[in-house]
Amino acid sequence: MLEHDAPADAPPRDQVVDRLTVLLTRMLRPDAPVTEQTQLMDDLGLSSSLGLELLLSLEDELEIQIDVEELDEDRMATLGDLADYITANSTPR
């Protein structure tokens, strides 16, 4: 079955969720477990500069390039939202 909306060879969404969870836990050491429903700014206090570090680390780990032209705060409200965006807006490098 094809992932709808995902460009060819984009990383599977599950893999993006998994790496985001690990990276956010490592960077921010939150009290509660990080899940797809975790609000990045409202629960974790993620700043824009840490957001940049997060995207850069993810690009390196998954060997992808994320197109940030359409990225805004609404599209990274929760970890699940950001995973959706990345799955639909990244290409392998």
Helices (H), 1-93: 13-28, 48-62, 79-88
| Closer CB to other proteins, 15 or 39, in the complex | 39
Residue 71, classified by CB atoms within 10 Å of its CB into exposed (0-12), middle (13-18) or buried (19+), is middle
Contacts of 81 (CB under 8 A, 6+ apart): 74, 75
Q: Which amino acid is located at 92 in the chain?
A: P
Q: What is the DSSP letter of 33?
A: P
Nearer to other proteins, 3 or 56 (CB): 56
Report the nearest approach of other proteins to the CB of residue 60 (Å). 8
Q: Give the footprint of other proteins on this chain (CB under 8 A).
A: 30-31, 39, 42-43, 45, 47-49, 52-53, 56, 59, 68-74
Shortest spacing between CB 48 and other proteins, in angstroms: 6
Nearer to other proteins, 4 or 29 (CB): 29
Give me the least distance between CB of 72 and other proteins, in Å please. 4
